[in-house]
Chain A
Amino acid sequence: SQQGEEDPQALSIQEGENATMNCSYKTSINNLQWYRQNSGRGLVHLILIRSNEREKHSGRLRVTLDTSKKSSSLLITASRAADTASYFCATAEETSGSRLTFGEGTQLTVNP
């Protein structure tokens, strides 16, 4: 079953604009991660935020985590055509042991 629900399902923007994707989850977590997947290929890890952290940055990426609302957001600033991909949030649930539970993903299209 999917832990995370991502919003929006699809997002289309112009190069240079910012892209924001949201993820909601249902249970208590140890950490939340974001991954990127280019069409039909493997996933690439972007960033990990622990449950006691509220915000984290990595290059053009900014992730926030609100454990009281059980939600996270991923902001990509100054988007490039190469950012076109699917983005997934994944949670390490406190009670699920050694596994990640992935959301349904957001398909981001950045138009040149």
Chain B
Amino acid sequence: KAGVTQTPRYLIKTRGQQVTLSCSPISGHRSVSWYQQTPGQGLQFLFEYFSETQRNKGNFPGRFSGRQFSNSRSEMNVSTLELGDSALYLCASSLERATGELFFGEGSRLTVL
């Protein structure tokens, strides 16, 4: 069974631009969660989607958004990028509940210049 796939793995953007990250969960998994990881703040929860609905949201500004498609694939978007958005963005999938065992992708490393 294929694992969680995140694309792109690495990307460089400049301030003010926007970025879209993609996540393909494990087949059959309906819950997709997104986390931001930085050296200063650690792992911070962004949001969780289940059956195309956002089920939970972390304390991030509205510039951070996401969605989930009918095949459970998910995207997250960050608009008007700031230097502080530089981070490793991790996607995780699970069967039903985002509080059970999570399966993580390798992450998308975003650098904002």
Contact = CB atoms under 8 A, between A and B. Distances in A.
Interface string A91-112: 0100011111111110000000
Interface stretch (B11-19, B70-78, B95-103): B95-103
B26 to A, nearest CB: 12
A88 B99 contact: no
Interface in B63-113: 88, 90, 92, 97-107, 109
A99 B56 contact: yes
A78 interface: no
Contacts of A44: 104
Contacts of B105: 42
| Most A C-beta atoms less than 10 A away, residue of B43, B45, B97 | B43
A2 B43 CA distance: 8
A51 to B, nearest CB: 11
Interface in B33-59: 33, 35, 42-43, 45, 48, 50, 55-56, 58-59
Interface of B: 4, 31, 33, 35, 42-43, 45, 48, 50, 55-56, 58-59, 88, 90, 92, 97-107, 109
Interface of A: 1-2, 30-31, 33, 35, 40-45, 48, 88, 92, 96-105
Nearest to B42: A104
A85 to B, nearest CB: 13
A97 B108 CA distance: 25
B98 A42 contact: no
B42 A98 contact: no
Contacts of B98: 98-100
